[in-house]
Structure formats: C-alpha cells, structure tokens
C-alpha cells in the first residue's frame, strides 16, 4: 500500500461512512480531498495508484458543498456599510458564519455616500477562507442606484441616478476591483449601457429595489443582468397584467440558455411560505437563498441605534423604530436552508444547492465553488439528516466542529 504522501503527492484524506451531495443527488460515496481540492478517486487509484493517508469516519453524516451567502450586511452590531466598523465587522462576521456552514460570502454594502464607498470598498478585499473566517468573494453593492419608493431601509437622501451612464457609477463607487455584484433599479435612464459595462468588468448585475415593470426587467436581462435581489421584497408585486420583476421567473422574452437567478430570504418573515412555494414551483433552478442579515444579527432583543437609524430587535424580527418597515433579517443561512426545505418540501438536495451551487453559478464560479465536483475547492460542510451543521471545512481544513 502506498499512501499519497509517500509517492510525492500531498496528504490525501478519504472521508468515509458518509453521503455526499453531487449532481443534485445525495448518495453514499466517499469524498477524497488533497491539497485543498476534491479529488477523483479513480485517477488516484488507476493512475497515481495511491491510497489515502488518512481515512475519516463521518458517522453517516451528509457532506454538502459549503454555503455561500451573497447578501449579508453585517452582524454582532457591526455594519459593513459603516466605515468605522467594516474591518472589525468583516472579521467578526466571517468568523461567526463558519458555524452556520457558510464558507464564502459577499459582504453587502447598502446605499451609502460616494465618499463612504471610497473608504469602505478598499477595505473589503477578496480573500480565501480559513480558520479566521469564511472567504470573501467580493462586495455586493446594493444601491445607491435604486428606486427611492422601494428603498426599504436604505437612506433616501443618498439614492442616485446614473444619467451620465457609467461615468456616474465610477464617480460614486470609485475603484470597483473589490466588487462582485451590484443591485440596481433597471427602470433608470442609461441602464442598458451601465449593465453592459458592469458585465464587461465581470461584475454580476442584479435588479432590485425597483419599480420596474416586466418589460424593463427583460431589457435588463437582455443587457446582461442575471440576478433579482430578494425576490418579492422591495419591488412591485406580481400583477397578472404586468407581473413586474417577479415575472422574470417565467418570461419567454429572455435570451436562450440565460438562466435568471433570484434571491429569496427564507427566514419565515420576509417572504411568506406560500410565496416561497410559488417561486420554488415555477423556477427551482434559479433559487439563491440569502440571509440579508443586518448588524443586529447575533444580538439579543433590544433597541439599537445604528448610525442615523434606530432598529428594534424582537425575536426573529427587526424593524426601523416606530415603523412597520422591516430592517433586514436576523437569519443565518443554515436556518434559511432548513426553513426552505420544510416549507417547500423540495428535499435536502435542492435546499442545499440553493445556498451553494446556485449562488456559485450566478457568480460564475461554479467550477471552483458550490459543488463537490472533482477539482473543486474542498469547501464543504457536514450535516445531520435535519440539516444541522456539524462541521465546516474550507480548502480541506476543518474550520468549525459542533
């Protein structure tokens, strides 16, 4: 017997007595990991002719790809949109989400002033995950190019248009190199050219916080948009003569082979279970579960002054003080996965893929993240049959154990 490391290769782990999620199915299979990547055991056996250096008994748990949250605003009292809190916030939150099975995420910066973007964005660098915290795939800039009437908790006075096209965009954000995705309202003037320019730079465009009708939504998708930010929230509701952005899920006016993904906050509060079921029934491959978690996440009940706003936290709910406006969710992504599986009856495969494969596909990184395919990064989680996270691994290294 020749263990991998004895033949000049890296240390080879064989996770055994487990079921793995691959190609949309959960089945009994070992997972082979070396040098932070998922390995093809047939190549190891027939070509390299090596054995595992270490076999790890997983106690019959499910192994699934690590979860990816593309919309998370902060936590532990820290807000990624507040200059002074960004660095500490990223540190704390990226560490905290490991126990929730999140192996990479897009810190989300809501509508801010131009000078604030220039302070905040350079501080949120893309990085690989580790014991220190989940990986950062790039910032999700949500706003300021959104519709005032659909602003939700975004500060009204900072909302803008891009009447001069991408020039305005650059003036507001400054350097875009740390940005992975942007949410904008597609009904604005110059939207097609702005979207095309974002796409050219490899930044995913999402439509949301918007009054757009379906035609405007379709035009945005034809220009390159591929995501809908928290479907049903902060947009006009479905209407049978104009289904608005919700109609993108069943539109026949989109380019062939273009899949539209959409975020769903399945925290049981922001999206009614019946709405989750509607979305699931009509367009299951597009679902991307997001938390949209705010800075009050992981904090006890109370009233918290956050910048110019005051947020009341009560149980799983958070409101802007003295209003009925939801301030964002307090959910964790693993909670969302469990709730989505329960409410839609979609099965664990899709619920897990909606928080791993789908966000990776949406971001165009599914060759490395969001799957247990061979050669992918070994970012994975172990779960029991109720989908409780028992362990989290990044690049093959255990970063959390329950």
Partner 1 sequence: MRLVIQDTYDDVSLWAAKYVKRRILDFNPSQDKFFTLGLPTGNTPIGMYRKLVEFFKDGSLSFKYVKTFNMDEYVDRISFMWNNFFKHIDIDPQNAHILDGNAKDLIAECNAFEEKITAAGGIRLFIGGIGPDGHIAFNEPGSSLVSRTRVKSLAQETILANARFFDNDLSQVPTQALTVGVGTVMDADEVMILITGAHKAFALHKAIEEGVSHMWTVSAFQQHPRTIFLCDEPATNELRVRTVKYFKGLMELHNKMLEEAT
Nearest CA among 195, 184, 200 for reference residue 221: 195
Binding-site size, partner 1 (CB under 8 A): 12
Coarse DSSP helix, strand, coil percentages of the chain, rounded to the nearest 5 percent: 30, 30, 45
Annotated ligand binding at 387? The verdict is no
Q: Is the distance from CB of 350 to CB of 264 less than 8 angstroms?
A: no
If one asks whether residue 310 binds partner 1 (CB under 8 A), the answer comes out as no
Choosing from 79, 292, 334, 335, the catalytic residue is 292
CB of 11 to partner 1, least distance (A): 17
| Dihedral angle sign, alpha carbons of residues 205, 207, 213, 214 | positive
| Token pair recorded at residue 287 | 């679902």
Give the whole-angstrom CA distance, residue 147 versus residue 159.
7
Q: Residue 308 CB, nearest distance to partner 1 (Å)?
A: 59
User: Residue 358 annotated as binding?
Assistant: no
Q: Which three-class secondary structure state does DSSP give residue 138?
A: coil
Interaction of residue 44 with partner 1, rule CB under 8 A: yes
State the nearest-atom distance from the C-beta of 17 to partner 1, in Å: 13
- For the question of residue 292 being annotated catalytic, the response is yes
Q: What CA–CA distance (Å, rounded) separates 290 from 228?
A: 11
- 92-95 contacts: CB < 8 A, separation 24 or more? 93/133, 94/129, 94/132, 94/133, 94/134, 94/136, 95/132, 95/133
Stretch that binds partner 1, among 37-45, 126-134, 198-206, 348-356 (CB under 8 A): 37-45
**Listed ranges 48-56, 61-69, 206-214, 264-272: which one lies at the site for partner 1 (CB under 8 A):** 48-56
Q: Is 233 flagged in the annotation as binding?
A: yes
**Contact range with partner 1 by CB under 8 A, out of 43-51, 165-173, 229-237, 261-269:** 43-51
CA distance 34 to 255: 40
CB of 9 to partner 1, least distance (A): 12
Choosing from 30, 53, 87, 285, the residue that interacts with partner 1 (CB under 8 A) is 30
Query: What residue ranges bind partner 1 (CB under 8 A)?
Result: 1-2, 30, 41-42, 44-46, 48-51
Annotated binding site for Zn(2+): 142, 209, 230
User: What is the set of active-site residues?
Assistant: 292
Known binding positions: 142, 153, 209, 230, 233-234, 241, 270, 326-328
């Amino acid at each position: 017997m020749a263990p991998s490391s004895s033949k000049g290769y890296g240390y080879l782990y064989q996770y055994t007595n487990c079921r793995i999620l691959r190609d949309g199915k959960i089945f009994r299979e070992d997972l082979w990991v070396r040098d932070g990547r998922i390995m093809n055991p047939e190549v190891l056996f027939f070509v390299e002719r090596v054995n595992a250096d270490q076999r790890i008994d997983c106690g019959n748990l499910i192994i699934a790809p690590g979860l990816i949250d593309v919309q998370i605003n902060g936590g532990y009292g820290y807000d990624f949109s507040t200059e002074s809190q960004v660095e500490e916030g990223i540190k704390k939150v990226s560490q905290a989400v490991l126990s929730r099975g999140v192996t990479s995420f897009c810190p989300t910066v809501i509508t801010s002033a131009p000078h604030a973007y220039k302070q905040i964005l350079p501080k949120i660098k893309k990085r690989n995950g580790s014991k220190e915290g989940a990986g950062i795939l790039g910032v999700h800039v949500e706003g300021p190019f959104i519709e005032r009437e659909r602003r939700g908790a975004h500060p009204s006075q900072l909302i803008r248009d891009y009447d001069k096209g991408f020039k305005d965009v650059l003036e507001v954000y400054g350097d875009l190199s740390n940005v992975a995705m942007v949410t904008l309202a597609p009904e604005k003037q110059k939207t097609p050219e702005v979207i095309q320019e974002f796409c050219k730079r490899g930044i995913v465009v999402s439509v949301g916080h918007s009054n757009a009708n379906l035609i405007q939504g379709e035009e945005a998708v034809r220009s390159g948009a591929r995501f809908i930010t928290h479907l049903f929230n902060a947009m006009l509701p479905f209407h049978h003569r104009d289904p608005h952005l919700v109609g993108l899920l069943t539109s026949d006016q989109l380019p062939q082979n273009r899949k539209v993904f959409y975020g769903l906050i399945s925290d049981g509060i922001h999206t009614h279970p019946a709405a989750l079921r509607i979305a699931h029934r009509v367009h299951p491959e597009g679902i991307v579960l997001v938390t949209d978690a705010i800075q009050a996440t992981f904090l006890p009940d109370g009233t918290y002054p956050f910048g110019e706003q005051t947020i009341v936290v009560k149980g799983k709910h958070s409101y802007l003080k003295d209003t009925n406006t939801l301030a964002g969710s307090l959910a964790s992504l693993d909670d969302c996965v469990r709730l989505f599986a329960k409410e839609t009856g979609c099965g664990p495969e899709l619920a897990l893929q909606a928080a791993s494969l789908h966000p990776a596909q949406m971001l165009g990184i599914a060759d490395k993240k969001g799957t247990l395919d061979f050669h992918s990064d070994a970012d994975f989680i172990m779960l029991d049959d109720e989908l409780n996270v028992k362990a989290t691994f990044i690049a093959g290294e255990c970063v959390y154990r329950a």
